[in-house]
Amino acid sequence: MPLSKIAGIGKYVPANIVTNNDLTKYMETNDEWIQERTGIQERRYAHRTEETTTTMAVEAAKIAIERAGTTAEEIDFIIFATLSPDYYFPGCGVLVQRAMKMKEIGALDIRNQCSGFVYALSVADQFIKSGMYKNILVIGSEKHSFGLDFTTRGRNVSVIFGDGAGAVVLQPTEKEGQGILSTHLHSDGESAEMLAMYNPGTHANHWGTQNYADFDEAEIAQMFLSKKMMDNAQLYPFMDGPAVFKKAVVKFPEVIMEALSKNGYTTTDIDMLIPHQANLRISQFVQQKLKLADDKVYNNIQHYGNTTAASIPIALCEAWEKGKIKEGDLVCLAAFGSGFTWASALMKW
């Protein structure tokens, strides 16, 4: 059975750089406060009307396809990971298919937030190994800037996120010592509301024991999209930062070690770890716990912020472009995010 390899990789980040000092125009914060808590110095914001989650994905995909030595017409499946789609529905996968004038191929959208790209890569890996598809375009793309609360009220969340896209083309390989060795996917919905965007939605009291019969019509009306939600900032993401941090620093090392153990490796064998760029402090904690040298972990959250599903392919692409990943290297990808979900992938480059 052939393994699947990343045959081409590309990234796209908007030209618009937004520094920590730029954010002080909208909220009470400062560069020192943001860097101390997140490690972030700046992020990129897409053009409000001219760039979308899909258009950024297309730019990253063009590069990945060219580097894979193939064409858009030869792509036979699309897997698109995002939490910020252009439309509530349809998903971005079909929009990429249209924009790139591809054949009438299948398009699958993945909603696993920060872990989305690794989940998408795992799905693509199974399709390649089964022989069903030969050229799969896997994308992670996010446009967070359109939906953040740029006030002091929302600063704990809004200072963290940025926009961008990354893409890879997955192909089969028969080459000895190359390809994805294994992927590992997990979830625990017990704390789903600790990192979530509740509205608009149809949840009512989703995490309680009550149902609609317990409410009168006026109360039910306020559960859905309403002026009250807008006035009370209920249309923005919510994050319990300490709760997320506490869980992440446990699950990150666990899922990395799971991948290594599955394939008979130890942490000393890792040539490059690409963690999801959630928070520099989380990455540094994981690096210290696993006793990895600085040159074995790649972080770029300082310049792009947290781009959730896009963060791993952007960082992976950048590390490869800088020559930090070479043929034969053992590369580990790991992510933790909303859900909670967490995942890892181990590959020989």
The partner residues of 344 in beta bridges, in order of sequence, read: 184, 334
Q: Which of 276, 299, 300, 332 is catalytic?
A: 276
Q: Which of 20, 112, 135, 306 is catalytic?
A: 306
Coil/strand/helix, residue 223: helix
Q: Which of 114, 135, 144, 300 is catalytic?
A: 114
Rounded alpha-carbon distances, angstroms, from residue 251 to 116, 181, 336, 337, 344: 16, 20, 7, 10, 10
Question: Position of tokens 């990943």?
Answer: 325
Separation of alpha carbons 233 and 219, rounded Å: 17
Token code pair at residue 237 = 């993401």
**In terms of Cα–Cα distance, which of 197, 170, 119, 166 is closest to 307?**
166
Coil/strand/helix, residue 302: helix
Instruction: Examine the residue annotation and report whether 114 is marked as an active-site residue of this protein.
Output: yes
Instruction: Examine the residue annotation and report whether 21 is marked as an active-site residue of this protein.
Output: no
Instruction: Examine the residue annotation and report whether 332 is marked as an active-site residue of this protein.
Output: no
- Contact in structure between 130 and 275 (CB atoms under 8 Å): no
Catalytic residue numbers read 114, 276, 306
